[in-house]
């Protein structure tokens, strides 16, 4: 199993550009999450999904959108990128209602908006 | 005030030392996670606790639900333990996690 994969690893955007961060998991996990990590701060939840077709906002959803058309994929869309969205983005997945509800993290995408 | 507080923020130890990292939280939880973030950025789960104590190799995690406090201990520390250790709490809704800011550990020879 590849686990959770994310693409791209790095990206530089200009202000106002748009992009999609891709996230795929091959563990058949129902729950998926997008986090951002800023220097000196804890990870913050952007959006999450409890299954295909179901998404909900986390702590910091403004400026982002998500979709969940399949169990495997959970892309994060940035519209009109702003410097405040410069961050490292992590996708994670987990299996609910298990005795060990570990979250598995992707390797991260480092995004810079200039 | 953050819902999850970790201490210390930074920790330097010599190889072989016993290390303790603390985590306090202020909300009701269904579980507490300890995670490790390597210098390269990858995040891996170390433990998930809902009560008591768990041990894996040289790592031990404990939780006191009444006091809303957890500790991560590393016995016989080694330079390869150098990483950021992150405490996170699961409040039970969709297993969403709220994270502490992490403890940066450096173990020197």
Dihedral sign from CA coordinates of A34, A54, B35, B103? positive
pLDDT tens digit string along B45-72? 999 999 999 999 999 999 999 999 999 9
Of A35, A36, A11, A32, nearest in space to A110 by CA: A11
Nearest chain A residue (CA) to B100: A42
DSSP state of A15: T
What is the rounded average pLDDT for all residues in chain B? Answer: 93
pLDDT surpassing 80 at residue A100: no
Provide residues of B within 8 Å CB-CB of chain A.
Answer: 2, 4, 31, 33, 41-45, 48, 86, 88, 90, 94-102
pLDDT tens digit string along A60-81? 999 999 999 999 999 999 989 9
Contact A104 B45 (CB under 8 A): yes
The confidence score (pLDDT) of residue A97 equals 61
DSSP state of B41: S
Q: Give how far Cα A87 sits from Cα of A48, A53, A102, B9, B105, Å.
A: 18, 27, 24, 20, 22
Confidence of residue A98 (pLDDT cuts 50, 70, 90): low
Question: What are the two backbone dihedrals, phi and then psi, of residue A16, each rounded to the nearest 5 degrees?
Answer: 95, -15
């Amino acid at each position: 199993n590849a686990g959770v994969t994310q693409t791209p690893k790095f990206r530089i955007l200009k202000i106002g550009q748009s992009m999609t961060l891709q996230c795929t998991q091959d563990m058949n996990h129902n729950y998926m999450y997008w986090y951002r990590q800023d220097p000196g701060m804890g990870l913050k939840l952007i959006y999450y999904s409890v299954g295909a077709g179901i998404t909900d906002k986390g702590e910091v959803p403004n400026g982002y959108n998500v979709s969940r058309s399949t169990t495997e994929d959970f892309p994060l869309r940035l519209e009109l990128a702003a410097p405040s969205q410069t961050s490292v983005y992590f996708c994670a997945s987990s299996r609910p209602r298990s005795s060990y509800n570990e979250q598995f993290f992707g390797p991260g995408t480092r995004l810079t908006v200039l | 005030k953050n819902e999850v507080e970790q201490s210390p923020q930074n920790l330097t130890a010599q190889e072989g030392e016993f290390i303790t990292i603390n985590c306090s939280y202020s909300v009701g939880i269904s579980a507490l996670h300890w995670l490790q973030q390597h210098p390269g950025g990858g995040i891996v789960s170390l433990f998930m606790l809902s009560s008591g104590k768990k041990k894996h190799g040289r790592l031990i995690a404990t939780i006191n639900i009444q006091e809303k406090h957890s500790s991560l201990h590393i016995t016989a520390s080694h330079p390869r333990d150098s990483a950021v250790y992150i405490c996170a709490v699961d409040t039970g809704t969709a297993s969403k996690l709220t994270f502490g800011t992490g403890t940066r550990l450096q173990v020197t020879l």
